Structure 1
Amino acid sequence: MEQKLQLRTVNVTRYMQALREGGSLPALAAADDGFKYVLKFRGAGQREKALIAELLGGEIARILGLKVPELVFANLDPAFGRSEGDEEIQDLLKGSQGLNLALHYLSGAINYDPVATKIDTFLASKIVWLDLLITNVDRTFRNTNMLMWNRELWLIDHGAAFLFQHGWTRWKENATKPFPIIANHVLLQQAEKLDQVNEEFSSLLSKEKIDAIVSLIPEEWLLAGRDGDNAAELRTVYADFLKLRMSYSDQFTKEANDARKSLI
């Protein structure tokens, strides 16, 4: 039976400050539930496709038992940001009216430093395997996209995953072809237990769970990319990509193991 997943929806009440570490200008914002969030805008960078990648990558990581800040849908009122003095930010807010995505703000968290903090080889292997599955190009020494919070490692920023979105008709090819960028992964050298993780995760991430995660993608985000005019069909492509990619997990695990050996 298909599992039902659901994300909370909040209304953004206050734009607090831009977080200029990334090119997409995420922001720290307050919402009507009393919490602070890192707000990812549909009007930035790769637009809705980045939000889809963030949503899928984050919820897959959560299903696999990795720590990810809570993801919520975040409504941005049309009147929001009219008083913003920065023209670039004002344009971003105007272009992001409606449904956006936000991550719960981890107050006091610091960027993961791979030199200062070594993590468990099993955890490293889990994160490398996840990024192989979702074709995430952005977990490198330059951008680790991980935080240390309460002495635990948390994953953030999956907006650069799912490369097939940017060449939509080649999704099958992208699901099955090698992913050499994994050689740049910040945790690859520590990922000594990829075979064990592959066995565990291959049974954990069922087709039903994939369908449940993909069902979370809002219709308006799917149609905004203009890759088709049927949201259900577009949603099916994401599910089929992940299922096909899963069927090649032995191959991409071997690929990562081979890349890792070259680093030792």
Structure 2
Amino acid sequence: MSIKQPDLRTVNVTRYVTPLREGGSLPAIAEADDGFLYVLKFRGAGQGVKALIAELIGGEVARTLGMKIPEIVFANLDTAFGRTEPDEEIQDLLKASVGLNLALHYLSGAITYDPTVAVIDPLTASQIVWLDCLLTNVDRTPRNTNMLMWHRELWLIDHGASLYFHHSWDNWEEQAKRPFVQVKDHVLLPQAAELEKVDAAFRAILTEEQIRAIVAVVPDEWLLTLSHHGTPEEIREVYARFLITRIANAGTFVNEAQNARKTLI
């Protein structure tokens, strides 16, 4: 099977349009020098570059598995960008985010997925549940689905809360083998009736080589801010080994999801 190497573009932010205040890290809609609008995620926000790393890896894993993800780009923020911003909180955020940030193409007109309105088929639901169990994504609940309906298709957004092992780091090997107990709150769990079928298919796609190709795109500029964890190469190796180990032990989180689903149906 061929390896899909993510090829991310780099844009320069030219205009701050509006904050998205429903996000805890204060993302914003911004315009770039290619003329497109993006949802900009800032390195200077609460979780720093770790949220950007999770967003990048999680989004590109999902894309590799065939799911719809808005284009992810690297977004440069110039030192002069925030000087004219009147909001002091936003100005501080912009100043703390000078350099390389992350952005997702803005899906104009998209609406938040509402589980009471749109019905997701069992295969798609199982695919998304499996993905979130792999990534340990705690942020796909009925309260905050982090999915959009755009042109009658389901799009996944916001994986910044994934890979939460990197907030404690030292016991990553143990965490890689754990079930994902938070799956009980997943908005699509009731429909996820084909987890075993998805598990077999996705394990075949996410080979060790594929995982390493995805992790390789994480920029040194971000990883150098985590130098207390090692060199950029050493840190990438931990992210890769975490995912490789988790995929090898996927039966653990698949069983957890199936057992949690039995309590709902």
Q: TM-score, normalised by structure 1?
A: 0.98
* Amino acid corresponding to residue 53 of structure 1 in structure 2: A
CA distance in 2 between partners of 1:94 and 1:57 (Å): 26
* 1:185-243 superposed Cα distances (whole Å, 9 cap, x missing partner): 00001100000000100101111110000001011211213442411011000000000
Distance verdict in 2 for CA 1:42–1:190, change over 3 Å: same
Is the counterpart of residue 177 in structure 1 residue 141 in structure 2? Answer: no
> C-alpha root-mean-square deviation of aligned residues, in Å?
1.0
Structure 2 distance, partners of 1:144, 1:29, is: 23
Q: Determine the structure 2 residue equivalent to 1:158.
A: 159
| Number of the residue aligned with 2:48 | 47
Q: Is 1:24–2:25 an aligned residue pair?
A: yes
Name the SS of the counterpart of 2:170 in structure 1: helix
Kindly state the Cα deviation for residue 3 of structure 1 after the two structures are TM-superposed. Answer: 5.2
Q: Verify the 8 A CA contact 2:178 2:252 in the aligned structure 1.
A: no
Query: Aligned pair in 2 of structure 1 residues 200, 2: CA closer, same or farther (>3 Å)?
Result: closer
Moved more, 227-236 or 87-96: 227-236
**Greater Cα shift, 218-227 or 192-201:** 218-227
Q: Percent identity between the aligned chains?
A: 63
Aligned partner letter, 2:113? Y
2:76 is the alignment partner of 1:75: yes
1:66 counterpart residue number: 67
Cα deviation for residue 6 of structure 1 reads 1.8
For 2:190 and 2:134, locate their aligned partners in 1 and report how far apart those are by CA, in whole Å: 18
Alignment check: 8 A CA contact 1:53 1:158 kept: yes
Q: Which runs of 5+ in 2 are unaligned?
A: none
Query: Residue 2 of structure 1 contacts residue 211 of structure 1 at CA under 8 Å; is this kept in 2?
Result: no
> Which residue of structure 2 aligns with residue 102 of structure 1?
103
Residue 120 (structure 2) aligns with: 119
Partner of 1:186: 187
CA distance in structure 1 between the aligned counterparts of 2:241 and 2:14, rounded to whole angstroms: 37
Query: Is the Cα contact below 8 Å between 2:6 and 2:60 reproduced in 1?
Result: no
Cα distance in 1, alignment partners of residues 87 and 103 from structure 2: 21
**Amino acid of the residue matched to residue 169 of structure 1?**
D
Q: Which amino acid aligns with 2:259?
A: D
Structure 2 equivalent of residue 210 of structure 1: 211
SS in 1 for 2:75: strand
Task: Give the 3-state SS of the residue equivalent to 1:11 in structure 2.
Answer: strand
Whole-Å separation in 2 of the counterparts to 1:58 and 1:180: 22
SS of the counterpart of 1:263?
A: coil
The one-character-per-residue Cα deviations of 1:142-187 (angstroms, maximum 9, x if unpaired) are 1100000000000000000001100111100110012110100000
1:169 match: secondary structure: coil
Equivalents in 1 of 2:80, 2:147: separation in Å?
A: 34
In 2: Cα distance, 1:61 partner to 1:14 partner: 29
Q: Which residue of 2 aligns with 1:195?
A: 196
**Residue type matched to 1:146 in 2?**
M
* Structure-2 change in CA distance of 1:15 and 1:171 (3 Å): same
d(CA) in 2 for partners of 1:4 and 1:157?
21
| Cα distance, 1:2 vs structure 2 | 6.1
CA contact (8 A) 1:168 1:227 kept: no
